[in-house]
Amino acid sequence: MKKTEGYWDSIPKIKDISFPVRGKMQVNLTDGRVIIVPLSAFPSIQKLSTGDRESYFSLVAGYHLIKAMK
């Protein structure tokens, strides 16, 4: 039987997010993958100040991003 390669049997969950490069958001998954996307894909996050962006975090077992309440 041939073993399947890759992440076919993995359910992606968000471990954490960061904003290491101007105009980009980095999403680290629990299985080790890293996804970097342009902030232009998320206008509601793009318009926030740098400090406000840092208050975003993963919730509900890593499936959703929400903003922390102040």
Q: What is the mean pLDDT of each run of 10 residues along the chain (70 residues)?
A: 75 85 90 93 87 68 56
Helix (H, G, I), strand (E, B) or coil at 18: strand
Domain spans of the chain, in order of start: 14-67
At residue 38, the pLDDT reads: 95
Whole-prediction pTM value?
0.72
At residue 44, the pLDDT reads: 85
Rounded CA gap, 14 and 63, in Å? 6
Helix (H) or strand (E) run with residue 26 in it: strand 24-29
At residue 60, the pLDDT reads: 46
At residue 65, the pLDDT reads: 61
The two beta strands, 24-29 and 56-59, are unpaired
- At 68, phi and psi to the nearest 5? -65, 140
- Any idea how long the chain is? 70
The answer to whether domain 14-67 has CATH 3.30.2020 is yes
At residue 30, the pLDDT reads: 87
Q: Are 36 and 29 in contact (CB under 8 A)?
A: no
